[in-house]
Amino acid sequence: NAGVTQTPKFRVLKTGQSMTLLCAQDMNHEYMYWYRQDPGMGLRLIHYSVGEGTTAKGEVPDGYNVSRLKKQNFLLGLESAAPSQTSVYFCASSYEVGDADTDTQYFGPGTRLTVL
Amino acid sequence: GNSVTQMEGPVTLSEEAFLTINCTYTATGYPSLFWYVQYPGEGLQLLLKATKADDKGSNKGFEATYRKETTSFHLEKGSVQVSDSAVYFCALSAGGSNYKLTFGKGTLLTVNP
């Protein structure tokens, strides 16, 4: 099992450009999450999904959109990047139906995004 | 709402020293509590968890006990190694229908030989 993978690992954008971050998991998890990590701020939830075809806003959703067309993939989009979106982005997944462990999240390696 | 407060870092220790990283929480109901570790350049990994009061989570020599009376989940290790240098995050899951995690801000631990 690869677990949770993220593409790309690094990216540099100019202000106003758009991009999509891809997260994939092979653990048959129902729930998926996107976080951003900034110095001194811990991890903050951007958006999450409780199943294929569903998405919901987290703590800091502005400027981001997400889609979950397939159960194993969760995409994070930036339509018009801003310097304030410079951060490290982590994807996570959790909860396989029938598993007693319902709330442990498994994280990807992260994407470091710089917006100039 | 839910919140997690953990001790400010950075924490610098010598090898074989005793480690405590304090974590307290605010939550309704009976949350599950977690410690995650992030090694340099990597994503977060689950270190240990506890799901009910008085439970003790343990892994790799680290321990934490779920104390409902003091709303705490302090991380301890009796003898740290250089390889334990990382950022440690305390987190809680209040359950419900989406199992979202609320994280503390993280504590950077550096262990010197």
In B, minimum Cα distance to A38 occurs at B105
pLDDT of residue A102: 73
Q: Determine the residue of chain A that is closest to B48 in CA distance.
A: A104
Give tens-digit pLDDT for A41-54: 889 999 999 999 99
Query: What rounded mean pLDDT belongs to chain B?
Result: 92
Average pLDDT of chain A?
A: 93
The pLDDT tens digits for B72-106 are 999 999 999 999 999 999 999 876 656 788 999 99
Distance in angstroms (rounded) separating the CA atoms of residues A67 and A103: 22
| pLDDT at residue A62 tops 90 | yes
Residue A56 to residue B95, Cβ atoms within 8 A: no
Ranges assigned E (strand) in A31-86: 31-38, 42-49, 56-57, 65-67, 73-78
Q: Confirm or reject contact between B44 and chain A (CB < 8 A).
A: yes
CA distance B16 to chain A (A): 27
